[in-house]
A and B are shown apart, each in its own frame.
Chain A
């Protein structure tokens, strides 16, 4: 034990250090801590957003506390829990949205899970391959809010605020269209198929399309839509035809539209306007057919090559199509006539129809009466060959001159249009008759006769060869001799020639004598009576010496 001096505390005044505050300053530390904590709590409370529940078919790719909700790739919330729905067919994902994302509680907000998708239209959501799925959101416009949403299984084609118009197309079947299929205007993509569903009566499909602004201004009230999917290969009566819109539309399908050239109503189509989706451009642009009339025709010939949808033409104008080709049995004639059912659209006659309609109300009875008139004037149906290569037939209605009159029952329904055999059949018949006639010619006899004649001819020729020819040769030899003799006669030194020359000289002399005589007589015509006088004597006449001398000299 150390020996410390036990000193009593000195009564000297101790230095008393007193603070102004009794409370230690160290208490500021927990106060500051509390303030910081409190501010964080308040901040958290202020920033906490609405909580919603979205129902999906599957929770594939979703994770509680991890999966984010994104809009335009901005995180607006997080999935806080995933639970099975009561019906066990769906899952409920509870989502905590940020304070700023309150707009996403509107009733028509849409939620969908973004997963990697590879389709004909392209690839999307590749980033989710590594990062995992997230929930995409698209705010709505409705006024009232909602806590429970049904999530979409596919991302919506159009998102909030996209400008454009929605239209509905009616068609018989969907074809190869799908959500996301493109909508083309003059082969430029201007929109896409948004959704489709069966029509309410189940007899067709309603397709919703969305055309983006500003191209939605090209959708007019009378625009025509047609299905531009795939490659349209048609082998019709007019030959092979291939038509397509673009490579993408071949794969993913597409819809195209255009306004017809004779567009009358150029005003813009309204939002949600409804159109008909035609099968191809041609039918889309055709005038509206109006109501079709069903007629029948009976042909007594084989109609190979006539199929359903073969055209029916009236004076070369396509007015309808064949809808049925059936065999019938005629017990009386014991034949099998073919009964053709066809639908005729009188509207396709164009102006002719308008004028005909003016003649009477467009009643079926009137039409039948008109048909009776035309049949009386020779209207007949004929199966004609449209294409010799493919052997396709079409029905042609023409006025046949000199047609056999037939009874036309104008009260019968459907109307039975009288027929005549087809043009090719007629040609066949004529050819048959010609061949028959040809076969009746007695070719054998003709050949026999010809054979005899030819034998005779042969004999005659032998005769000619044996007898006539030698004689002919002798004659020719004689002729040659004669000619040689003649030739000799005319030779330069032949006596005949000399004689001839002498004879000619004699003639010359004779001619001179005659001239002298005539000259003398000309000068002395009295000599004829008195005879020739002596020079200068009886006669006073003095001849010109020159003249006489000339004569003498000659």
Chain B
């Protein structure tokens, strides 16, 4: 089976935004005037950089408390994990599970997937290319949902303010967690899934 020629073979470049096939030597899409690249520029390096930065921020995001709860003078600071454990131990396993998935499982999944994609792309591996691109689409979709935690804290902190009776304040950890989410999203955005398939070409 003969494969269709690559854009590169035809000296064409696809516009990222509107999908217009432009000549290879133009820098701006003649239709929508956005910058045109053959591949996303420095995709691997940028993804690596964002991924590493988010990994670094992920440590304080988990170690530092994200929320300070003051109930009748009984103040306590909770990290993400301690909150999960507290909910789990108090019997609300469903909420514990929700927080665990949104705050711990998803970011970790992202790190793993992005790391795998980056490494396999750099090695030009031809292993499970279709599945890898599916994974990439998955993390692009679930990336937004990782902000759940940040939203919850922001909402509660704004709502629960009863002076001395009880109050909830955000703590530094949630900032780092938000940064982690943003950075992983950036990493996912800067990754070009077409790199997965480039391995085919080189080998061909």
Q: Which residues of A contact B (CB under 8 A)?
A: 1, 4, 6-7, 9-10, 12, 14-15, 24, 26-30, 32-34, 36-37, 40, 65-66, 127, 130-132
Contacts and interface: CB of A to CB of B under 8 A. Distances in A.
Contacts of B11: 7, 9
A29 B53 contact: yes
B60 A40 contact: yes
A131 B57 CA distance: 33
Contacts of B82: 65
Given A4-B10, A26-B50, A33 B56 contact: yes
B42 A24 contact: yes
Given A10-B25, A14-B25, A37-B60, A26 B45 contact: yes
Contacts of A127: 73
Interface string B10-45: 111000000000001101000000000000001001
B46 A24 contact: yes
B60 A4 contact: no
A37 B57 contact: yes
A29 B73 contact: no
Nearest to A17: B27
B88 interface: no
B25 A33 contact: no
Given A127-B73, A131-B73, A15 B56 contact: no
Nearest to A12: B25
A24 B74 contact: no
Interface of B: 4-5, 10-12, 24-25, 27, 42, 45-46, 49-50, 52-54, 56-57, 59-60, 72-76, 82, 179, 183, 190
A372 B19 CA distance: 138
Given A4-B12, A9-B24, A130-B72, A33 B45 contact: no
Contact of B53 (A12, A32, A132): A32
Contacts of A28: 49
A24 B42 CA distance: 8
B10 A15 contact: no
B169 to A, nearest CB: 15
A131 B24 contact: no
Contacts of B57: 33, 36-37
Nearest to A7: B11
Nearest to A132: B74
11 contacts: A1-B4, A6-B10, A7-B11, A26-B46, A26-B190, A29-B49, A30-B56, A33-B52, A33-B56, A65-B82, A127-B73
Q: Which 9 A-B pairs have the closest CB atoms?
A: A131-B73, A33-B53, A130-B72, A30-B52, A30-B53, A33-B56, A26-B49, A131-B74, A29-B53
A26 B4 contact: no
Nearest to B56: A33
Given A26-B45, A37-B59, A130-B74, 6 more contacts: A6-B10, A26-B190, A33-B54, A33-B56, A37-B56, A65-B82
Contacts of A27: 45, 49
Nearest to A27: B49
Contacts of A40: 60
B49 A24 contact: yes
B183 to A, nearest CB: 7
Contacts of A4: 5, 10, 12
Contacts of A9: 11, 24
Contacts of A132: 74
A36 B75 CA distance: 27
A130 to B, nearest CB: 4
Contacts of A12: 25
Contacts of A1: 4
Contacts of B190: 26
Nearest to B50: A29
A30 B12 CA distance: 34
B42 A34 contact: no
Contacts of B46: 24, 26
Contacts of B76: 66
A517 to B, nearest CB: 155
A14 B25 CA distance: 8
Contacts of B54: 33
Contacts of B50: 26, 29-30
A320 B77 CA distance: 71
Q: Which of A26, A28, A34, A36 has the most CB of B within 10 A?
A: A26
A130 B183 CA distance: 42
A432 B28 CA distance: 147
A131 B52 contact: no
A9 B38 CA distance: 15
A487 B74 CA distance: 136
A80 to B, nearest CB: 13
Contacts of B49: 24, 26-30
B25 to A, nearest CB: 7
A129 to B, nearest CB: 9
A7 B11 CA distance: 8
Nearest to A130: B72
B73 A130 contact: yes
